[in-house]
Structure 1
């Protein structure tokens, strides 16, 4: 009998903990959520979670490849106690959740039960997930602990991925960047409805990691977004130099057996192809990097949200002000990178255990350096002697034959570090800009991506777990069970959640705390290093920016000048040729010397 009573008591406790149903009255109807209790460091944190709320009409049928439209009124009361479907994607090793459901434009709202820090309402943080624009969903990073620990409202969102989110055929039938427009539609939903949840529309921060960081940077360069958000956190991503410029739809259509004789035939076929066929094709090509790359869709120039490559806008703005950059500089901004982003690129070199991967100097110089240069100089052929100069810059002179670690350094610089540093430098140039920079160096026990044992700094995506209080869906996303982070990681998580939510609440990550995170200024270039013990360092990637934005372009310009013939037809033409050649040699030597000092 005692056992029956105990079981009944446990049942009542479970019902009390997980089945209470908070409701909120909104413009679009009554929304019924669920009270959630999550444990972090032996403390129970309570939030009201409203899950799977549709913010856009389903992008199916004639709405496939179209920009999103507001969902409108909900059935009332709307049951918001379960996550909505992820957008179509294959099951990836990281961030992936297998789905073939195009009705996927949902968001989730996590509201702390504590009194807001200001009488007028809670600050709001909108999370844009990463995953290369081909995978991920809002539910992989549950917001309960971040919301409750930092006393802010956290919103996570889904957006269209792959061909469904980024097909661009150049006209109104599919103009590209639908996934980015989905993100903006979710922001508009927040502006219209978050006050009903106790949110402050004048304190909205957008933040994202990897492709999510690229996305929030794109939104920060779009002046019509003024008022939708006020602060930006960019984690491991920037405004890229080389967005999609090819036409992967032709390759995709061919692999799907479509008629590819005309662009109209391709579009009509892709409009009718089933999500299952597309996801199955992704799965089929998952281990073939060339074929997979041929069917990968990313951001493109759509003439509205993205009118030109964002990095071109950024580089021009160092000389000429533009409305895009003025808007970006008006936003408080945190820009950060993980200590060794390039470790994520080492996976493609592995045929076995990652610890056994070794890259020799010949492979590095002749294959890997040219392969990744389109990240920096899209559409440009780089001459051999310039490639040689780059190879010298990325040589480990204590052991020049082993290029493994230098490849990781090179991959991180060209894919992440230089562009991110350039963006934060430009932001800090604004007359009233407030900029903070960090490096997440901590080598956590359980990496998000495969990582060699010799890594001395954090890999790409390692910052996600501490940011969300170790509440990520490890089993679903990473096939990791029973992860127990050590105490120092939980300490780090507390500090990071405090910094991030302070920024959302006060516009300053240090808030009113005694630990100070100095603002980034161009004369001192101080940044915070997040590790077992935090510290302050300076001039992160200053040399790399100088090399890639001054030295290498100088070499390319010198090469172009040297390719021009001197004037002929005078008695001194032979001397002119000799002098000109000598001038070019001296010029190249000067750049070479500067780059290896």
Structure 2
């Protein structure tokens, strides 16, 4: 080999060596040194992954967690930790541990180690009953892996564990059991990120929260609490807000007593009840908080009794009165176009039975259940609104779709639009954006008219069409690319259209002059920007329904 060849080889070796060196190695955090794993993504592209960094000590039962005492030596953070103790999906057993307050970090690098990157902190959903920071796992392919987001959007992704179910959200409604332990966990994770992320190459002053379902409502709670003032710059709520009817427990003591009775604890005073619950087997407590216990003769949403509460501290007032705390936070809030289908399938199973008609009286019965606090008058006015376009002989499909539209509007869309409006109203620089996600469901046994069911956006946000390409069509990779681009641009600049990633069309802000939103699907063009989303229905739930007098509310019927 000639001298020129030798120079080229040496230069190449230096380049490769430099690229290989683009890793953080051991990182000093407030608790001690941590070391994750480094993964090569391509030429001059690497990623560091840290799994299972403790951000708080193992919490006392029904107590706010305390800071982690730290460790000596080097902590290897190469494996996901267990979820917080929770029921399994069959609700017949439990999984997870009380020692669960850990987070995971994904950091992208180019030829050199990254610095000053935006940070996106993910809060998972699961009805405040289940869930974990890594998500479901199929062949070591975790749903909430940040890998695709970080390499495509050049951001850091963090996912945080928090307590769920009985141990995360049981409350007596007073100081003996104030509740919101899961929300405190989330806050502690966010605060840890703010204090430590600079050592991982992140910008502590540019943290974006994002989450879905209960995690989406949690994102909203976290920007409304005064405890996060100055910690969070931007937020994205996907299918859920603090105003959602399932996101706030109105009668927490009722549910606490149900659980206490189930495990044999006294209910005469909240002090004696909590004293007993604190020394009860945690597995028994967790099982007592499953949905089977609450086999209520009402819409399933009213069985979700373990949820955040207005505790006078973390949430000093009703969330609708706390939007001033998010005045400087940029906020995206949206829903899937058939988010309510999941609930509709439980409430009226015939919705998913192709040959079985859904009687109109089932829709009326559902409305009576959903609007019970306003009485019969609300059921009648709601029914008139939702059936006004039916004509004399509505088809089976029309009735079924109406049921899904009702559940979507009531449980997701109307509260999200209300939160969007309140964020805009109280804004002092924080921008507001609205969207609807409408990629048709890929679940084969669903009706042919199905749109995007609850949680179906997650696979695209986390880039699964790229991770498992054989399971998707090219159009699914398109929408995944669009979502990651909008979300990460927003994390960089506060504007989903402006950043390092190309988008198919500009997404205008939601303003007092124009209530515009973006419809996100596989073909996004300028015509995907629309206005006044389901305006007559939003006006009804936001104004007419709210103005109806409240009748005396009764606890759920067991």
Q: 2:542 aligns with which of 549, 554, 569?
A: 549
Residue 492 of structure 1: how far off its partner (Å)? 0.9
C-alpha offsets along residues 210-241 of structure 1, whole Å, 9 cap, x if unaligned?
11111111121123412111001111111226
Q: How does 1:185-264 map to 2 (within 5 A)?
A: 185-240=188-243, 242=245, 243-246=248-251, 247=253, 248-264=255-271
Q: Which blocks of at least 5 consecutive residues in structure 2 are unaligned? A: 1-19, 136-143, 553-558
Contact 2:166/2:289 (8 A) holds in 1: no
How many residues in Structure 1 have an aligned counterpart in Structure 2? Answer: 505
Counterpart residue number, 2:495? 508
TM-score (norm 2): 0.83
Contact 2:24/2:200 (8 A) holds in 1: no
Counterpart residue number, 1:12? none
CA 1:165 to 1:213, structure 2 compared with 1: closer, same or farther past 3 Å? same
Contact 2:441/2:450 (8 A) holds in 1: no
Q: Which blocks of at least 5 consecutive residues in structure 1 are unaligned? A: 1-16, 314-323, 375-379, 474-480, 561-597
Q: 1:86 aligns with which of 67, 71, 83?
A: 83
Given the alignment of the two structures, is residue 388 of structure 1 paired with residue 380 of structure 2, yes or no?
A: yes
CA 1:284 to 1:464, structure 2 compared with 1: closer, same or farther past 3 Å? closer
Given the alignment of the two structures, is residue 50 of structure 1 paired with residue 43 of structure 2, yes or no?
A: no
Contact 2:244/2:411 (8 A) holds in 1: no
Which has the greater radius of gyration? 1
Q: Which moved more, 1:105-114 or 1:536-545?
A: 536-545
Q: How does 1:145-184 map to 2 (within 5 A)?
A: 145-184=148-187
Distance 2:319 2:354 in 1: 37
Q: How does 1:477-492 map to 2 (within 5 A)?
A: 484-492=471-479
CA 1:133 to 1:308, structure 2 compared with 1: closer, same or farther past 3 Å? same
Q: Which moved more, 1:407-416 or 1:66-75?
A: 66-75
Q: How does 1:571-582 map to 2 (within 5 A)?
A: none
Q: Which moved more, 1:253-262 or 1:96-105?
A: 96-105
CA 1:326 to 1:554, structure 2 compared with 1: closer, same or farther past 3 Å? closer
CA 1:167 to 1:456, structure 2 compared with 1: closer, same or farther past 3 Å? closer
Distance 1:286 1:252 in 2: 8
Contact 1:38/1:144 (8 A) holds in 2: no
Contact 1:36/1:144 (8 A) holds in 2: no
Contact 2:212/2:455 (8 A) holds in 1: yes
Given the alignment of the two structures, is residue 103 of structure 1 paired with residue 99 of structure 2, yes or no?
A: yes
What's the secondary structure of 1:127's corresponding residue? strand
Q: How does 1:578-593 map to 2 (within 5 A)?
A: none
Distance 1:170 1:453 in 2: 42
CA 1:116 to 1:310, structure 2 compared with 1: closer, same or farther past 3 Å? farther
What's the secondary structure of 1:139's corresponding residue? coil
CA 1:44 to 1:209, structure 2 compared with 1: closer, same or farther past 3 Å? farther
Contact 1:22/1:33 (8 A) holds in 2: yes
CA 1:295 to 1:327, structure 2 compared with 1: closer, same or farther past 3 Å? closer
Distance 2:515 2:177 in 1: 43
Q: 2:134 aligns with which of 131, 136, 139?
A: 139
What's the secondary structure of 1:35's corresponding residue? strand
What's the secondary structure of 1:341's corresponding residue? coil
Counterpart residue number, 2:417? 421
Residue 346 of structure 1: how far off its partner (Å)? 2.1
CA 1:408 to 1:552, structure 2 compared with 1: closer, same or farther past 3 Å? same
Distance 1:462 1:82 in 2: 27
Distance 2:430 2:130 in 1: 33
CA 1:47 to 1:499, structure 2 compared with 1: closer, same or farther past 3 Å? same
Distance 1:261 1:219 in 2: 34
Residue 460 of structure 1: how far off its partner (Å)? 0.9
C-alpha offsets along residues 374-424 of structure 1, whole Å, 9 cap, x if unaligned?
5xxxxx342x34421111111151444753221111111111111111111
Q: How does 1:113-512 map to 2 (within 5 A)?
A: 113-114=109-110, 121-140=116-135, 141-240=144-243, 242=245, 243-246=248-251, 247=253, 248-281=255-288, 285=292, 288=295, 296-311=305-320, 313=321, 324-348=322-346, 349-350=348-349, 354-356=353-355, 358-365=357-364, 367-373=365-371, 380-382=373-375, 384-395=376-387, 396-398=389-391, 399-400=393-394, 402=396, 403-429=399-425, 430-446=427-443, 452-470=446-464, 484-512=471-499
Residue 189 of structure 1: how far off its partner (Å)? 0.5
CA 1:105 to 1:370, structure 2 compared with 1: closer, same or farther past 3 Å? same
What's the secondary structure of 1:52's corresponding residue? strand
C-alpha offsets along residues 173-232 of structure 1, whole Å, 9 cap, x if unaligned?
421101001000001110111011011011110111111111111121123412111001
Contact 2:295/2:303 (8 A) holds in 1: no
Distance 1:64 1:333 in 2: 34
Contact 1:249/1:295 (8 A) holds in 2: no
What's the secondary structure of 1:459's corresponding residue? coil
C-alpha offsets along residues 439-485 of structure 1, whole Å, 9 cap, x if unaligned?
110114248xxx72223421110110010111899xxxxxxx99711
Residue 38 of structure 1: how far off its partner (Å)? 7.2
Distance 2:155 2:531 in 1: 31
What's the secondary structure of 2:497's corresponding residue? coil
CA RMSD of aligned residues (A): 3.2
Given the alignment of the two structures, is residue 77 of structure 1 paired with residue 71 of structure 2, yes or no?
A: no
